[in-house]
Structure 1
Amino acid sequence: MAPRGRPRSFDRDEALERAMRVFWERGYEGTSIRDLLDAMGVSPPSLYAAFRSKESLFREAVERYERVEGVVTARALTDEPTARAAIEVMLRGNADAYADPAKPSGCMTVLSATVGMPVHAPVRDFLRELRLRSQDAIQHRLECGVAEGDLPSGVDTATLAMFYTSVLEGLSVKARDGASREELHRVIDCAMTAWDALTTVQRPAQVGRRPRPVERPA
């Protein structure tokens, strides 16, 4: 029999997975310590001994989310042969994940803490940094497309990356609002229809000598 007062042993990885799902579903401020204890099946001493604080647990849960759920974006940006294919596969793969009924809807890093009490600003800054890192990865893939001749030089890769990041994050919000997989994919159809217009570079007309007027006979 374990000594009296000893924290109950538990599977740390499984407990972290359960905490991740609670934060994913309810957000950072919407999740109480009681919610976490119930979901993880641990005692307060065990939780604090393993994770130190709610914020530390949340950060670790987000990192787990990025490792497990973030592979959709990482694989699309790495594996697809063209920039256009990478963006489309990224959007469609994430839309499928966002609408998966077996998981909380939407994206954890988008939905967990965009607004809240000033005391929780470090959590919001942490998530903002992750979202910007994702946008940077998208821009890097677009820049590779320019370098490889897949996209024309002069394309505004920063704005293009921000546009498709906005689409991606919007899909997350719409999924949380109850949009179906089919509805999300129709939005992606529209976003990809805009690709050609967004990646066309208008070249300035060549400036040369003005042609001499033709002298007409009197």
Structure 2
Amino acid sequence: MTAHNRGRPRAFDRDRAILDAARLFWRRGYSGTSTRALTATLGLSTSSLYAAFGSKAGLFEEAVRTYAERYREIYQQAVAEEDIRTAIERILIDSVHEFTQPDDTHPGCLISSAVMTDSTGTLDTSAYVAELHRSNEQALLRRIERAIQDGDLAAGVSAVVLTGFIQALWHGLSVRSNLDTPREDLIEAAQLAHELICQQLTSTTS
């Protein structure tokens, strides 16, 4: 009687591999993460890693897209809200919740991680993230412009300035999340920012 399963490698969990790889990339950047470090962390041979992802670059791209696309979803869902103030609140609060997902399910915020301060090895990824920011900003800008046209915001409100301000807040919250600021503190900061924005919009419309 033979033991066919003796020495059988553990089942390959693609989602877990992407998460573990993302943690390395986020911390060390693309060029600072060696193939040896990846294979050791993922428990794969070099050939298995290449078979699964094509290359180190392929794994990196999949990790970026897996965790960055969630921010596009947040913006799309937020701008679909009927009330512009709710839309702004959802962008800030929902993003904080995404920034601060538990470590066992999320690698942290890509946008302000080591990935974005890396060498030319991340050029394609930098272009992708830049496109993601433009897409999100344009979605928010169009929503604010519509709110002005519908009379929900005063005509004197600058859609461009308000959009830029919200985006600046978003990036600040992202940076602070990577500095291990507790979720509760980030939520309070986002709520305060939202209240101040709404007060300004209210005073402008009155």
TM-score, length of structure 2 as denominator length: 0.76
Query: For the Cα contact (< 8 Å) 1:72–1:90, is it kept in 2?
Result: yes
Per-residue deviation, 1:139 = 1.5
Instruction: Choose 183-192 or 109-118, whichever is displaced more.
Output: 109-118
- d(CA) in 2 for partners of 1:37, 1:117: 22
Unaligned 5+ segments in structure 2 are 1-9
- d(CA) in 1 for partners of 2:123, 2:186: 31
Map 1:132-151 onto structure 2 (within 5 A). 132-151=134-153
Per-residue deviation, 1:164 = 0.8
Query: For the Cα contact (< 8 Å) 1:24–1:112, is it kept in 2?
Result: yes
The one-letter amino acid paired with 1:85 is: T
Q: Which has the higher contact order (CA 8 A, sep 6+)?
A: 2
Q: Residue 97 of structure 2 aligns with which residue?
A: 96
1:39 pairs with 38, 41, 44, which one? Answer: 41
Unaligned 5+ segments in structure 1 are 1-7, 204-218
Map 1:101-180 onto structure 2 (within 5 A). 101-102=102-103, 103=105, 106-180=108-182
Per-residue deviation, 1:76 = 2.3
Q: Residue 82 of structure 1 aligns with which residue?
A: 83
Write the deviation string for residues 76-131 of structure 1: whole angstroms up to 9, x where unpaired.
Answer: 222x2211111112211222232334355742133243323245433323322222
Over 3 Å counting, the alpha-carbon distance change for 1:164 and 1:69 in structure 2 is closer
- d(CA) in 2 for partners of 1:112, 1:137: 27
Query: For the Cα contact (< 8 Å) 1:24–1:108, is it kept in 2?
Result: yes
Query: For the Cα contact (< 8 Å) 1:151–1:199, is it kept in 2?
Result: yes
- d(CA) in 1 for partners of 2:195, 2:135: 26
Over 3 Å counting, the alpha-carbon distance change for 1:109 and 1:201 in structure 2 is same
- d(CA) in 1 for partners of 2:33, 2:44: 16
TM-score, length of structure 1 as denominator length: 0.73
Instruction: Choose 56-65 or 120-129, whichever is displaced more.
Output: 120-129
Query: For the Cα contact (< 8 Å) 1:105–1:176, is it kept in 2?
Result: no
Greater C-alpha Rg: 1
Higher-helix-fraction structure: 2
Query: For the Cα contact (< 8 Å) 2:19–2:106, is it kept in 1?
Result: no
Over 3 Å counting, the alpha-carbon distance change for 1:119 and 1:26 in structure 2 is closer
Query: For the Cα contact (< 8 Å) 1:25–1:104, is it kept in 2?
Result: no
Per-residue deviation, 1:174 = 0.7
The one-letter amino acid paired with 1:149 is: G
1:28 pairs with 27, 30, 34, which one? Answer: 30
Q: Which secondary structure state, in structure 1, belongs to the residue aligned with residue 117 of structure 2?
A: coil
Query: For the Cα contact (< 8 Å) 1:37–1:43, is it kept in 2?
Result: yes
The one-letter amino acid paired with 2:168 is: S
- d(CA) in 2 for partners of 1:13, 1:180: 26
Query: For the Cα contact (< 8 Å) 1:139–1:161, is it kept in 2?
Result: yes
- d(CA) in 1 for partners of 2:24, 2:113: 12
